A and B are shown apart, each in its own frame.
Chain A
Amino acid sequence: MIRHLFPVRGGVHPAYRKDQTSERAVLPLPMPAMLYIPLQQHVGQAAEVLVSIGERVRKGQMIARCSGSVSAPQHAPTSGHIRDIAEVTAPHASGLAQTTIVLEPDGADEWAVLPEPIADPFAVDPQLIRERVAKAGVVGMGGAVFPAAVKLDLGTRYKIDTLVINGAECEPYVTCDDRTMREHPQEVIDGARIIARVLGATRIVVGVERNKPQAIEALTRAAAAYPGVEVVGVPAQYPMGYAHELILATTGRETPAGKRTAEVGVVAYNCSTARAVDQAVRLGRPLITRVVTVSGGAIREPKNVECPIGARVGDLVAFCGGFTSPPAHLVNGGPMMGQPLPNLEVPVVKGTAGILALTRSETNARPEEPCIRCGTCVSACPVGLVPVELAALIRRDDLKTAARLGVGDCIGCGSCAWVCPSQIPLVQYFNYANGMLWNQEQQERKNARVKALAEAHARRVEKAAAAKRAAQSGRKPAASPAAPRAASEETGRKAAATEEAGS
């Protein structure tokens, strides 16, 4: 299909290396001996535990429920016994632990009673679908891990006319979305139509990078019956999968800085999320497995694995034949934006798209060199920042100017750092600056609050003194008003100092 696309700024063309896994059908991971299901696998509040140690649960049973308005529940990926609810290292660069339900599968793989399938999702109350998706624990599977149901509400607050399904999958190596689109195109398109209906969107645009022609073909065939659904091949240009970028490329609408895409009438969902929504609605199935790409030069047999949530990274690596050589980097996600994994013991969560074991030679890593001001980072930045200038400002700790020049707009895509011939860790500079700026803002906010409290306190003391004076003056002539004010200011300062010291 020839279709007009809108130009997007910047971007880079890393070595994609998707062929290591793209031509292999997804294989299910044999059930591991133990599953580790963290309570926080999404943006928002961690889920609340519903089970106790020793309890037997069945496949698909909710074991932790939503807590607060932005949250998602967790379900048992198979039947078995709860062995522990403990602090386990999370799949995060910090290596910190978080509360995790430990489930020992019993091998029966016995399903719980699932909610009734919704036979005609286009006839029921949209609120019903929203509730179903919320109960199924579906979160954004492209990496944002935002609870999918929360986004379904956007249609009530904004006028949404277009749903963009994100099948760009611009990260090198990762092919789990590609395989999902090729193997389950009907489910992706059906899920998209259900989401669009809830949002009130009349048009669906499925954006897929042109380096996935089979996926485009499969989806086009699946969408042929539905006039409102367009499947669009977009240029293979990282970071095309960044939602704002894909929306601009496919609809020509540019989301204002700091705003939701809903502001321009568009909501984006990842293609695997659309499939998960479809399964929740049509089958009543919660999100208990996901496809994970296990790849990289140090993996013996790279594969796409359909893996129960909570399987450990080591289980996946073992299923893929282990390492051929000790990897230089073990990455959770793609090589451009992924997080370093602390070890092989951490579990796969709902947002884990890839597990990469990279050798030193495939990273092209070299020692850092001085900036030669070549300006390729400026051309590469999809946001229109000037990384070379920002890095220089941050290096001399002029964070204020860096903030004015937009360091807060950085999306951390790593295009600048990828392209830099001197291999300056630009993203780290920007993350550092944004972290510091955030701390400063918190501190300023706190100071302002302390000041306001101190002033309020001073006013109260003054008021009380004035009242006392007024009461006294009823009996005898007034004393000097200067003394109590000085005292109250002193108290105010002390209060502020104590608060600050305590922070």
Chain B
Amino acid sequence: MTMGAVGSSAPFTHSPISVQATMRTVLAALAPATLFNLYLFGWPAILLFTVTIASCVTAEAISLGLADRPVWPRLSDGSAVLTGWLLAMSLPPWAPWWTGALGAVFAIPLAKHAFGGLGQNLFNPAMVARVALLVSFPVVMTAWVVPHPLFAAGSPGLAEGWAITFGGQMPDAVTAASALGFVKTELSRGIPVAQSLPQVPDLMDMTLGLRAGSLGETSLVLILAGGLFLMARRIISWHIPAGMLGALCAMATLFHAMDPDRYASGVFHLTSGAAFLGAFFIATDYVTSPVSKSGQLAFGIGVGILTWVIRTFAGYPEGVAFAVLLMNSLTPIIDQYSRPRRFGRNRQGEPLPQKGAR
């Protein structure tokens, strides 16, 4: 009597956590912040969110088909939905539909499948798409709006929302600068940070998310809750978020102390832009971040420092996406230099010194 699968070998038991389960958990962690922001920015945001995810899933299916890979098993891993979701969260909430659709083309076939598909890409697909859109369409990609909660007075209904997303009929009166953009513009006009800062939404509004910003980045409380949930479920560890937020805050605080008129404070940097979304959901992307914990910490610190540098000295008010992509390119090198010490060996890989025989 012969039993068992031929060629099978240990282990004969496996962790219940699959790729699909991991992706599902990340989506669940994103859901509260996303739903709140969809409510805050109303119908145009809901339509753009839907278009972006649908485009990414379609692009994934076509790419898999072209690459002669099994479409349904790969599609069901949820990675395309997650990419679309994160891309949508990084778009201006009332941006036209084609930003999501074009973003999907950048993200899925170019940033992911050109490199070999799931797990093979060097750069974070959602951030490649966001950056490509930003440098190509700077006006559209920085047309922020103040919150217009669903069903509130002045909020666009479904028909108006449809016109905004699909008709390109952006009402002029509603646009607003993001806090980062405002401070940067004022600074370029010679107005010191100390004077412009009191005009941005206060700390409470920034924390709750009642401010202009990308579709999914504004609610720090809910993003933090999602991030902590992912840590509790051991999907991510503290290394990248703490490294990134810590470095960003440290750099900003240090320079703010030296020249408060030129440099914004650490708290301002932490609460504005995509710092939280980036720290918990974007920089932590498995595929494009280092595999060891020490490498992840170095990666996070790098993203934090670069974000501050770009925000402070570069032409763009926000730097998270650029910082993540730059650090993505360093991931292979970080991986090489952050291998754990092996059992019974020193850091150089040589056996530990012997005590010697009797």
Complex CA gap A217/B47 in Å reads 64
Complex CA gap A414/B9 in Å reads 10
Question: Would you give the 0/1 interface string for B94-134, flagging 1 where the beta carbon is closer than 8 Å to chain A?
Answer: 00000000000000000000000111100000000000000
> Contact between A363 and B1 (Cβ–Cβ < 8 Å)?
no
> Contact between B14 and A365 (Cβ–Cβ < 8 Å)?
yes
Complex CA gap A259/B357 in Å reads 11
> Contact between B291 and A386 (Cβ–Cβ < 8 Å)?
yes
> Contact between B291 and A367 (Cβ–Cβ < 8 Å)?
no
A9 at the interface (CB under 8 A from B): yes
Complex CA gap A414/B11 in Å reads 6
- Chain A residue with the shortest CB-CB distance to B23: A372
Question: Would you give the 0/1 interface string for B271-306, flagging 1 where the beta carbon is closer than 8 Å to chain A?
Answer: 000000000000000111111110010000000000
| A contact residues around B138 at 8 Å (CB) | none
Complex CA gap A343/B287 in Å reads 42
Q: Contact check: which of A366, A372, A386 meets B292 at CB < 8 Å?
A: A386
| A contact residues around B118 at 8 Å (CB) | 369-370, 372
> Contact between A371 and B119 (Cβ–Cβ < 8 Å)?
yes
Within the complex, the shortest CB–CB distance from A401 to chain B, in Å, comes to 11
> Contact between B3 and A341 (Cβ–Cβ < 8 Å)?
yes
> Contact between B14 and A9 (Cβ–Cβ < 8 Å)?
no
Q: Assess A257 versus B352: contact at CB under 8 Å? Given A343-B2, A363-B14, A375-B286.
A: yes
Which one of B32-40, B150-158, B164-172, B333-341 is at the A interface?
Answer: B333-341
Question: Would you give the 0/1 interface string for B4-32, flagging 1 where the beta carbon is closer than 8 Å to chain A?
Answer: 11001111111111110110000000000
A156 at the interface (CB under 8 A from B): yes
Q: Assess A244 versus B344: contact at CB under 8 Å? Given A257-B351, A372-B119, A406-B349.
A: yes
| B contact residues around A386 at 8 Å (CB) | 291-292, 335, 339-340
> Contact between B343 and A9 (Cβ–Cβ < 8 Å)?
yes
B189 at the interface (CB under 8 A from A): no
Q: Which residues of chain A in 329-371 are interfacial with respect to chain B, using CB atoms and an 8 Å cutoff?
A: 329-331, 335-345, 356, 358, 362-367, 369-371
Complex CA gap A386/B294 in Å reads 13
B73 at the interface (CB under 8 A from A): yes
Complex CA gap A158/B354 in Å reads 12
- Chain A residue with the shortest CB-CB distance to B290: A375
A434 at the interface (CB under 8 A from B): no
> Contact between A256 and B354 (Cβ–Cβ < 8 Å)?
yes
Within the complex, the shortest CB–CB distance from A446 to chain B, in Å, comes to 27
> Contact between B4 and A341 (Cβ–Cβ < 8 Å)?
yes
> Contact between B15 and A419 (Cβ–Cβ < 8 Å)?
yes
> Contact between B13 and A265 (Cβ–Cβ < 8 Å)?
no
- Chain A residue with the shortest CB-CB distance to B77: A369
> Contact between A389 and B343 (Cβ–Cβ < 8 Å)?
no
Complex CA gap A386/B341 in Å reads 10
| A contact residues around B12 at 8 Å (CB) | 329, 331, 335-336, 338, 340, 356, 358, 363
A470 at the interface (CB under 8 A from B): no
Task: Report how many A-B pairs have Cβ atoms within 8 Å.
Answer: 200
Chain A interface size band reads 35 or more
Complex CA gap A356/B10 in Å reads 12
| A contact residues around B1 at 8 Å (CB) | 343-345
> Contact between A159 and B358 (Cβ–Cβ < 8 Å)?
yes
| A contact residues around B14 at 8 Å (CB) | 363-366, 417-418, 420, 423
Complex CA gap A417/B16 in Å reads 12
Which one of A70-78, A117-125, A287-295, A377-385 is at the B interface?
Answer: A377-385
Q: Assess A421 versus B290: contact at CB under 8 Å? Given A328-B4, A344-B3.
A: no
- Chain A residue with the shortest CB-CB distance to B118: A370
Q: Which residues of chain A in 402-451 are interfacial with respect to chain B, using CB atoms and an 8 Å cutoff?
A: 404-406, 409, 412, 414, 417-423, 425, 427-428, 431
Complex CA gap A366/B16 in Å reads 10
Complex CA gap A256/B339 in Å reads 18
Q: Which residues of chain A in 156-181 are interfacial with respect to chain B, using CB atoms and an 8 Å cutoff?
A: 156-159, 172
Q: Contact check: which of A337, A388, A405 meets B10 at CB < 8 Å?
A: A337
> Contact between B286 and A373 (Cβ–Cβ < 8 Å)?
yes
Q: Contact check: which of A255, A384, A388, A428 meets B291 at CB < 8 Å?
A: A388
| A contact residues around B233 at 8 Å (CB) | none
Within the complex, the shortest CB–CB distance from B342 to chain A, in Å, comes to 4
Within the complex, the shortest CB–CB distance from A279 to chain B, in Å, comes to 30
Complex CA gap A425/B8 in Å reads 10
Complex CA gap A257/B347 in Å reads 12
Q: Which residues of chain B in 317-358 are interfacial with respect to chain A, using CB atoms and an 8 Å cutoff?
A: 335, 339-345, 349, 351-358
A263 at the interface (CB under 8 A from B): yes
Complex CA gap A381/B343 in Å reads 10
Going nearest first, the 5 A-B pairs with the smallest beta carbon separation are: A375-B291, A257-B344, A414-B11, A384-B340, A256-B352
A-B contact pairs, 28 of them (CB 8 A): A14-B13, A254-B343, A256-B344, A327-B4, A331-B12, A336-B10, A336-B12, A337-B11, A343-B1, A363-B14, A364-B14, A366-B18, A369-B77, A372-B19, A372-B119, A372-B287, A373-B291, A374-B286, A375-B296, A379-B292, A384-B341, A385-B340, A386-B292, A409-B342, A417-B14, A418-B14, A421-B19, A421-B21
State the A residues within 8 Å of B (CB): 9, 12, 14-15, 93, 156-159, 172, 244, 254-259, 263-265, 326-331, 335-345, 356, 358, 362-367, 369-375, 377-379, 381-386, 388-389, 404-406, 409, 412, 414, 417-423, 425, 427-428, 431
State the B residues within 8 Å of A (CB): 1-5, 8-19, 21-22, 73, 77, 79, 117-120, 286-293, 296, 335, 339-345, 349, 351-358
